[in-house]
């Protein structure tokens, strides 16, 4: 026998107690249900990717912040041999790789959902996870992809967060063409647009003054150019209001270029469809400070905030990417997607005590073991209930009845079934409602029906 090993888990890798996991699964099931209702098919990719595939974006991407966090894997037995494997850090890159690889076998538009963990070598810190569950939905078109897909995603997401019932939230939408065109018009060189967009993405965090300073230092913009950028990216509000202001600004700004105009048009089309479907400014607004840090976005971009939890940041983000699959394929396969960071969201709300905690049991019925020599018969009752779809457990370990009832209370069972010699002979059951403590006698033939009725209350 080896010496005892102290059992420990790894910081930044959340592990939930059963009650918490039941709660978590409840929210995960809501996401899956909504994704499937809109016709998305499931995609699961392997945890490992070839490094060169995973890092395809690296050279063209100045921030290697994600790349620094990537985990490599190799067999311990060959510890010092090079391997070419690494763990996925998001679900978008594996999806793009999968689509490029299997394009000939997929039916386009390919609408997939993917709910899997991803891994990042984050430093241990509250709210930072090294393993977390992402819930992604994306639509990939062949050659073209109608803008209606950009409008449909926020509606799906709206449905999910409403169903989750986790308080008021707001989806913020913007457009990278509009922002890119604006920056170009304001004098930023074409090859610096992505970095400038990242600056804008930081306004909320570092403040306008800092952004002004940086726009001057990095790009030598004039005051009026910086003013223009700040004015635009401060636009935020109901669709009509923001679109009106944008159109006015176009008239004032004679240098407005084509990209910029296309951006306004896309933003208008998408947001009009969203509003026409009943979403209001309570849950959906335009917000031109949303730029997204990732370089692959090319049009619509989204972020979602929980109104009562601004510090959480965006709980669901995404956007339109016209060239991502192009890293792996010559075929033009434009896409749009959104992603919910479920681990962070649920664990935050859980710690704040804002989620209705599940009971520490999945099943509602406990069978009391009145006489241990009848264990087989109790198991037979359990089977009968389970076959009728009623989740049931048998109290096999507690030696006396009062311990069994204590267990029933602690684990939160709704009903207890008590049966002994007398009941077996009479073909009846004692049914106890654990909440009201009322106990009734039920005939064998009515057992399932009666339990279903009591559970429905």
Binding residue ranges: 90-92, 120, 134, 138, 292, 296-297
Residues 211 to 270 in contact with a second copy, rule: CB under 8 A: none
Residues 351 to 370 in contact with a second copy, rule: CB under 8 A: 360-363
Q: Other C-beta atoms within 10 Å of 411: how many?
A: 17
C-beta closer to a second copy: residue 141 or 185 = 141
Query: By CB under 8 A, is residue 73 in contact with a second copy?
Result: yes
Q: Other C-beta atoms within 10 Å of 329: how many?
A: 14
Binding residues for L-histidine: 90-92, 120, 134, 138, 292, 296-297
Among 356, 376, 400, 456, binds a second copy (CB under 8 A): 376
CB of 309 to a second copy, least distance (A): 24
Q: In whole angstroms, how far apart are CA 247 and each of 148, 225, 240, 281?
A: 22, 18, 11, 19
Q: Would you list the DSSP string of 195-217?
A: HHHHHHHTHHHH-HHHHHHHHHH
CB of 46 to a second copy, least distance (A): 4
Candidate ranges 42-50, 238-246, 310-318, 418-426; the one touching a second copy (CB under 8 A) = 42-50
In our burial notation (b when 16+ CB lie closer than 10 A, e otherwise), range 401-410 reads eeebbebbee
Among 128, 213, 255, 410, binds a second copy (CB under 8 A): 410
Query: By CB under 8 A, is residue 47 in contact with a second copy?
Result: yes
CB of 406 to a second copy, least distance (A): 11
Spatial neighbors of 166 by CB under 8 A, at least 6 apart, are 306, 345, 349, 354, 355
Q: Would you list the DSSP string of 365-376?
A: EEEEES-GGGHH
CB of 64 to a second copy, least distance (A): 9
CB of 436 to a second copy, least distance (A): 22
C-beta closer to a second copy: residue 185 or 335 = 335
C-beta closer to a second copy: residue 143 or 224 = 143
Query: By CB under 8 A, is residue 455 in contact with a second copy?
Result: no
Peptide bond into 106 cis (omega under 30): no
Spatial neighbors of 13 by CB under 8 A, at least 6 apart, are 129, 130, 131
**Number of Cα atoms under 13 Å in the Cβ half of residue 276:** 9
Look up tokens 């008590």; give the residue. Answer: 418
Using alpha carbons, select from 446, 390, 430, 443 the residue that is nearest to residue 413: 390
C-beta separation of 288 from 178 below 8 A: yes
Residues 6 to 25 in contact with a second copy, rule: CB under 8 A: 6-10, 13-19, 21-22, 25
Using alpha carbons, select from 170, 109, 131, 182 the residue that is nearest to residue 334: 109
Query: By CB under 8 A, is residue 57 in contact with a second copy?
Result: yes
Residues 323 to 352 in contact with a second copy, rule: CB under 8 A: 326-330
C-beta closer to a second copy: residue 273 or 350 = 273
C-beta closer to a second copy: residue 333 or 454 = 333
Handedness of CA 175, 181, 183, 188 (dihedral sign): positive
C-beta closer to a second copy: residue 218 or 277 = 277
Residues 99 to 158 in contact with a second copy, rule: CB under 8 A: 100-102, 105-112, 117, 119, 121, 130-131, 141-142, 144-146, 148-149, 151-152, 155
CB of 211 to a second copy, least distance (A): 28
Among 90, 127, 159, 235, binds a second copy (CB under 8 A): 159
Query: By CB under 8 A, is residue 394 in contact with a second copy?
Result: yes
Contacts with a second copy by CB under 8 A: the residue count is 120
Candidate ranges 43-51, 237-245, 285-293, 305-313; the one touching a second copy (CB under 8 A) = 43-51
In our burial notation (b when 16+ CB lie closer than 10 A, e otherwise), range 244-264 reads ebbeebeeebeebeebbeebb
Candidate ranges 188-196, 241-249, 310-318, 381-389; the one touching a second copy (CB under 8 A) = 381-389
Query: By CB under 8 A, is residue 289 in contact with a second copy?
Result: no
Q: Provide the β-strand partners of residue 85.
A: 50, 73
Using alpha carbons, select from 180, 110, 115, 97 the residue that is nearest to residue 149: 110
Residues 411 to 450 in contact with a second copy, rule: CB under 8 A: 411
CB of 453 to a second copy, least distance (A): 19
Query: By CB under 8 A, is residue 81 in contact with a second copy?
Result: no
How far apart (Å, rounded) are the C-alpha atoms in residues 110 and 141? Answer: 6
């Amino acid at each position: 026998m080896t010496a005892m090993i102290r059992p420990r888990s790894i910081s930044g890798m959340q592990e939930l107690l059963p009650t918490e996991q039941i709660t978590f699964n409840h929210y995960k099931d809501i996401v899956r249900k909504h994704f499937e209702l809109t016709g998305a098919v499931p995609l699961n990719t392997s945890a490992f990717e070839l490094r060169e595939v995973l890092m395809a974006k690296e050279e063209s991407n100045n921030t290697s912040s994600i790349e620094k966090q990537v985990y490599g894997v190799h067999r311990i037995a060959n510890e010092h041999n090079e391997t070419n494997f690494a763990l996925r850090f998001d679900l978008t890159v594996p999806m793009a790789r999968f689509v490029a690889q299997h394009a000939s076998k997929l039916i386009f538009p390919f609408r997939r959902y993917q709910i899997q963990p991803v891994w990042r070598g984050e430093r241990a810190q509250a709210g930072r996870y090294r393993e977390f569950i992402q819930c992604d939905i994306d639509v990939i078109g062949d050659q073209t992809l109608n803008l209606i897909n950009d409008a449909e995603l926020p509606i799906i997401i709206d449905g999910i967060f409403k169903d989750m019932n986790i308080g008021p939230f707001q989806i913020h939408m913007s457009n990278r063409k509009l922002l890119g065109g604006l920056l170009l018009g304001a004098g930023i060189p074409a090859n610096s647009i992505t970095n400038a967009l990242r600056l804008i993405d930081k306004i909320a965090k570092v403040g306008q003054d800092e952004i002004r300073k940086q726009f001057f230092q990095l790009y030598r913009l004039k005051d009026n150019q910086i003013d223009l950028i700040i004015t635009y990216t401060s636009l935020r509000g109901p669709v009509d209001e923001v679109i009106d202001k944008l159109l006015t600004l176009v008239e004032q700004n004679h240098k407005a270029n084509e990209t910029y105009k296309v951006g306004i048009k896309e933003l208008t089309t998408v947001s009009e469809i969203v509003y026409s479907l009943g979403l209001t400014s309570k849950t959906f607004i335009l917000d031109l400070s949303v730029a997204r840090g990732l370089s692959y976005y090319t049009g619509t971009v989204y972020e979602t905030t929980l109104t009562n939890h601004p510090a959480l940041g965006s709980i669901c983000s995404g956007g339109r990417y016209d060239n991502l699959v192009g890293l792996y394929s010559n075929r033009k396969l434009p896409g749009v997607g959104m992603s919910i960071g479920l681990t962070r969201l649920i664990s935050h709300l859980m710690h704040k005590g804002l989620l209705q905690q599940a009971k520490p049991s999945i099943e509602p019925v406990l069978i009391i073991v009145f006489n241990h020599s009848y264990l087989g018969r109790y198991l037979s009752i359990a089977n009968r209930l389970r076959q009728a779809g009623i989740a049931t457990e048998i109290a096999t370990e507690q030696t006396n009845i009062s311990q069994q009832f204590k267990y029933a209370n602690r684990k939160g069972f709704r009903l207890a079934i008590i049966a002994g010699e007398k009941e077996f002979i009479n073909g009846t059951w004692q049914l106890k409602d654990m909440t009201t403590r009322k106990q009734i006698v039920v005939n064998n033939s009515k057992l399932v029906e009666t339990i279903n009725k009591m559970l429905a209350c």
